[in-house]
């Protein structure tokens, strides 16, 4: 993993954001043809399939929303489950 893309496993990064980072890292390491933020590649880039490109675009959108502060991707708690937990305590 490149220096710009590293993050610790025990960090407070939400799971969706972590998955987006991991997918982009996988795309980069597999030689896919997108702008490599961590340096150029000496091998010929491979084209992403339509499904891979859709996931790639979604991962970029998740990171854009998270890094711009528009969305925090905090885990949601079901209101009914929360009430059940409060009743037990």
Lowest mean pLDDT among 41-45, 52-56, 57-61, 70-74: 41-45
Enumerate residues 6+ apart whose C-beta is below 8 A from 55.
23
- Which one-letter DSSP state was computed for residue 23? H
CA distance 15 to 42: 32
- How confident is residue 1, by pLDDT bands cut at 50, 70 and 90? very low
What is the predicted pLDDT for the residue at 38? 52
pLDDT in tens, 5-43: 554 454 688 899 999 999 999 888 877 655 444 555 555
User: Percent of the chain having pLDDT more than 70?
Assistant: 62
Q: Could you state, in order of their start, the residue ranges of all structural domains in the chain? A: 12-88
């Amino acid at each position: 993993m490149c220096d710009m893309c590293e993050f610790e496993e025990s960090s407070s990064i939400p799971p969706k954001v972590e998955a987006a980072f991991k997918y982009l890292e996988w795309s980069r390491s597999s030689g896919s043809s997108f702008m490599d933020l961590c340096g150029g590649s000496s091998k010929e880039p491979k084209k992403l399939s339509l499904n891979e490109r859709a996931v790639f675009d979604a991962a970029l959108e998740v990171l854009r929303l998270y890094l711009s502060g528009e969305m925090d991707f905090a885990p949601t708690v079901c209101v009914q489950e929360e009430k059940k937990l409060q009743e037990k305590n």
